[in-house]
Amino acid sequence: MAETAEKRKSGESGAGRCQCRGLLLAFLVAVRLALIACLVVHEYGHIRAMKYFGMKTKGIYLIPFVGGAALSDEKINTRWQDVVISIMGPTFGLFMSLASMVAYWVTGNIFFAGLATFNALLNLFNLLPILPLDGGHILKSISFSMNSVVGLVACVAAAAVGVYISYAFGLALLGFLLLIGSAEILFEWKYRHFSHLLPLSRYGQIFSAVWYVLTVASLVGVIIYFATIGDDMLMLPLHILGS
């Protein structure tokens, strides 16, 4: 009888292990599908912007260990096109994070909270002012459209404020990468006249800068909001930014 009970325990233990493995496998599949969804939504934002300007697109390509790419058969002709095409990816990513946030509020499912915060981190990374990331293209187009020294000083001041705010909120990594990326763009500023792209107007510069700042602030806001819930996993993106 003792032997029978022992076999029953062994069988239950084996079934429990199989169930855990099944749950882990389902979780990993869900995470991979969520990551693919984040990349597709981001790249679809670029595609929509290209089509808005009447450009022919080749489609979305997912590149292992790199991310995704939205390709077009045509070249851009203006800095405004560069800004809009670049920023629409993170903007669509922001919409996805906000939709996931609403889904979390409605269902209470922690999966949607994780999707919102890690998707926000992914798109925030893309907005760093480092080429060839989206943020590098955006800030390069803004700064290269400023022909006066006053405009350059304003660009430097804005970058300095961004670095200060990042460190003030404990986002050390974000501030450091913002500093490095801004310096890279400023060093290339003297070569702006060699580009064939038509520069942004003064209104275009201001509008692009405000759009960029609001998108960055919104993505950071999503990350900070979910970090306050108390879940260790949801605090990870904020810890990464503060590292």
With CA atoms as reference, report the closest residue to 178 among 123, 127, 236: 127
Give burial (CB, 10 Å; 0-12/13-18/19+) of 149.
exposed
The answer to whether residue 101 scores a pLDDT higher than 60 is yes
Q: For residues 41 and 96, is the Cβ–Cβ distance under 8 A?
A: yes
Say which residue, 221 or 35, is predicted with more confidence: 221
Of 8, 13, 17, 138, the residue nearest 79 (C-alpha) = 138
Say how far apart CA 29 and CA 173 lie, in whole Å.
30
Whole-angstrom distance, CA of residue 54 vs CA of residue 22? 47
Question: Contact, 220 vs 171, CB < 8 A?
Answer: yes
Instruction: Report helix angle 110-126 to 232-241, nearest 10.
Output: 10
Instruction: Give the mean pLDDT of 124-148.
Output: 80
The predicted structure's pLDDT at residue 178: 72
User: What does the DSSP assignment read for 140-155?
Assistant: HHHHHT--SHHHHHHH
Q: 145: number of CA atoms within 13 Å, CB side?
A: 25
Ranked by mean pLDDT, which of 43-57, 89-103, 162-176 comes out on top? Answer: 89-103
Higher pLDDT, 6 or 148: 148
Q: What is the DSSP string of 94-106?
A: HHHHHHHHHHHHH
The pLDDT, as a whole number, for residue 76 is 82
**Single-letter code of the amino acid located at 32:** R
Q: What pLDDT is attached to residue 192? A: 64
Whole-prediction pTM: 0.77
Tell me which of 168 and 220 has the higher pLDDT: 220
User: What does the domain layout of the chain look like in residue ranges?
Assistant: 2-241
Residue 189 to residues 10, 148, 152, 214, 217, Cα–Cα distance (Å): 70, 11, 9, 24, 26
